[in-house]
Amino acid sequence: MKSVTELGDLRGKRVLVRSDLNVPLEHGGPAGSPVISDDGRIRASAPTIKALSEAGARVIVCAHLGRPKGAPEDKYSLAPVAARLREVLGQDVTFASDTVGENARAAVDAAQDGDVVLLENLRFNPGETAKTDEERAEFAQQLAGLADVFVSDGFGVVHRKQASVYDVARLLPSAVGGLVETEVGVLRRLTEDPERPYAVVLGGAKVSDKLGVIDNLLQTADRLLIGGGMVFTFLAAQDYEVGRSLLESDQIEQVKGYLEQARERGVEIVLPVDIVAATEFSADADREVVPAGAIPADRMGLDIGPESGVLFAEKLKDCRTVFWNGPMGAFEMEPYAAGTAAVAKALVEVTEKGALTVVGGGDSAAAVRQLGFEDAQFGHISTGGGASLEYLEGKELPGLTVLDEPGA
């Protein structure tokens, strides 16, 4: 993969940058207007955009937001992202009200050296996520027609074979931006001879979302710490009572196989010893801390308990490499945030001792920020949860492999 520096002098060139600006929005502003609740991806994308602007390029940023169905929807407009990007960059950003239409073409034609243009949501066009190569190629041709050079800098989407990620890279001289370059470099450190002990903390709702990564990590990690909703399938695999907790019954046999494989390989699997169990999925529900193996039939587990937080921290304190993906509980509700906070605090402490700590994007990144931690307290906060997991599974990521094709 080429880096931007290998593209030569970009002054006066129209550079199409695929960023990942898919930030969470809450409609709690004036008159119900959208408010960005976590601008981490905007801040992470800004350095590449700023560097290209300062190099004299005419920067055309494209991105998606949410999951519109191939047509414009006001709630998924990138307009609030454009406003925040202006603030982060400290310069004007022209916002085009379409992606490849009349407004976009006019904005690009009017751009001067150093200017930044943000196109409207890519997914307002059915060709962006089309399943057929022909439909994607047609939209990619329109996008590529706006630019002279392509820079892939949206790590959160490089595992998708989409027009702005994959097909455009085959039409223009292409390179990776600084964000993608950093992400890949960190993930290589996790997969190619990581410094040990190497622990992986997995949480989130479902085991089925992480089958491939668990399978692969059993070959490389020294310890797996399991929390979140997925832990109840692990507990059920040991014949423990999980009450009304989230449970994937169809994955119990698979998890039993993982437990056996871990024993054979000498990989330590660490499960919670206590659970915060509530009568309902609510911050106001009656709740109590119970043993992990004996959740009452009328309750559901919504966080790892305080003893488990201490245990997890103990299992992490001697580690030299830690990857974390997925919160330990329903952190959005204050009564169930302590387990996630305990893991975050433990990662900060080992980071201070010189360990490489990687927070694997998605809900994990949102959680640490919501809980008051700073990005700089960790070794790296990824912008791509799904892409990070697929990389750790050993899968090929189309948005990266295309950049290695001849002529890219």
Catalytic choice (362, 379, 384, 385):
362
Catalytic choice (41, 223, 287, 315):
41
2 classed as catalytic: no
Q: Is 317 annotated as a binding residue?
A: no
DSSP annotation of 376: G
CA distance 298 to 279: 6
Which is nearest to 59 in space by CA: 177, 160, 166?
A: 177
Under DSSP, is residue 327 helix (H, G, I), strand (E, B) or coil? coil
SS3 content of the chain, % helix, strand, coil (to 5): 45, 15, 40
386 classed as catalytic: yes
Q: Is 364 annotated as a binding residue?
A: yes
Q: What is the DSSP string of 255-281?
A: HHHHHHHHHHHTPEEE--SEEEEESSS
Q: Is 11 annotated as a binding residue?
A: no
Phi, psi for 292 (deg, rounded to 5): -60, -25
Q: Are 60 and 99 in contact (CB under 8 A)?
A: no
Q: Is 210 annotated as a binding residue?
A: yes
CA distance 26 to 33: 8
Q: Is 190 annotated as a binding residue?
A: no
Both tokens of 394, joined, read 């050993």
Q: Is 67 annotated as a binding residue?
A: yes
Give, in order, the Cα–Cα distances in Å from 221 to each of 231, 238, 397: 18, 22, 22
Q: Is 363 annotated as a binding residue?
A: yes
Catalytic choice (43, 105, 206, 320):
206
Q: Is 123 annotated as a binding residue?
A: yes
Q: Is 362 annotated as a binding residue?
A: yes
Contacts of 288 (CB under 8 A, 6+ apart): 276, 277, 299
Q: What is the DSSP string of 122-142?
A: GGGSGGGS-SSHHHHHHHHHH
Q: Is 113 annotated as a binding residue?
A: no
Catalytic choice (212, 345, 386, 395):
386
Q: Is 18 annotated as a binding residue?
A: no
Which is nearest to 328 in space by CA: 193, 200, 227, 190?
A: 227
Q: Are 345 and 367 in contact (CB under 8 A)?
A: no
18 classed as catalytic: no
Alpha-helical segments (H) within 266-359: 306-316, 338-352
CA distance 69 to 229: 29
Q: Is 98 annotated as a binding residue?
A: no
Q: Is 354 annotated as a binding residue?
A: no
Q: Is 54 annotated as a binding residue?
A: no
CA distance 109 to 103: 10
Q: Are 151 and 380 in contact (CB under 8 A)?
A: no
Q: Is 66 annotated as a binding residue?
A: yes
13 classed as catalytic: no
Which residues are annotated binding-site positions for substrate? 20-22, 41, 64-67, 123, 160
Which residues are annotated binding-site positions? 20-22, 41, 64-67, 123, 160, 210, 301, 332, 361-364
Which residues are annotated binding-site positions for (2R)-3-phosphoglycerate? 41, 123, 160
Which residues are annotated binding-site positions for ATP? 210, 301, 332, 361-364
By annotation, the residues acting in catalysis are 41, 206, 362, 386
